[in-house]
Amino acid sequence: MKPEGIIFAVAFVFLVGIASYSVIGSPGAGNEFQEVKAVNQQAPLNNAFAQNQLVFEAEQNQGNAFNQQNNVNQQNNWQQDNQWNQANNGNNFTNAVLKMQNIALNPQAAQLEKQQTKLNIELINTLKLSEAHWQGMELMTLTTEVKQKLKYPMDLEGLLIDEVTLNSLVCGLLAGDVLLSVDGVKVDELRGFQRLTKKLRNNRSAKLKVWRKGEILPFKLRANDFLGITQAETAPMIVAGAIMPHPYRGACTDCHLIGSTGHMVPAPDAIILPPPAIPRGAKMPHRNFGPCESCHVVF
């Protein structure tokens, strides 16, 4: 063979070997292929892990936000409670100061105050009674207006029992009953009822007759010691010029004294406060009502 042919053959074999090595024999080519395949297989796992991580972080953020808001709410409750206590403690003092300032700046105010006090003293013995309390029952006059509102018979006469507690509850009376008589004596107005209980004050029991839903029922009221005397009240004091909250029932001074010292403003029963949040281990400011968690948020 000629030298040129030998060189050509060697060159051809060399080129073929290089090509084969680069395609199938090269360690780098196989590894790259395996790495690409491994990456493709690992990708779903990485995505799932990333999603789980995002969900975990989102839940953690929500939990942190809830705790922060809860702390803010607790602090607000404490602040509102403290503000109310401060305002309530200073309310009576502030009213007294304003009243003194008004009298000092307005000489006529003192004169009007004296006139109103004198008028109220004269009115006290003529005012209509609005309710009475005896052995746990609260009674009120059964007026035509009340009968219409409750749809009771218009010829029914007695005293409406609008609340029962203590011995009255024990003996079987119910709110809405109408008391007709006590120990055989008819009752239909509060002053007469008060005079009757004065006579019975040392007794230990009394026989009652009550109207309930069209029936006349007998009851026996038993006292723990003595029956005692009925405690009666008039309608609350009102300020001059107050708006009438009910239908016309005659002159305001038939039932009310006029002034601004007869009741608290605001009335404690009208103040509604949720029990405040308290720190764990806080000193109890009231008698034991059970676990603190029953009423309070404890932090």
> Which amino acid makes up residue 200?
L
Look at phi and psi of residue 228 and say left if phi exceeds 0, alpha if psi is from -120 to 50, else beta: left
pLDDT in tens, 65-79: 545 555 555 555 555
pLDDT in tens, 125-174: 889 999 999 999 999 999 999 999 999 999 999 999 999 999 999 999 99
pLDDT in tens, 265-299: 666 665 657 788 889 988 887 777 778 887 888 99
In angstroms, the CA 184 to CA 193 distance is: 12
Give the global pTM: 0.54
Mean pLDDT rounded to a whole number for the chain: 75
Instruction: Kindly tell me the sign of the dihedral angle through the C-alpha atoms of 192, 226, 136, 253.
Output: positive
Q: Which of 279, 206, 5, 240 is nearest to 115 (CA)?
A: 240
> Which amino acid makes up residue 243?
I
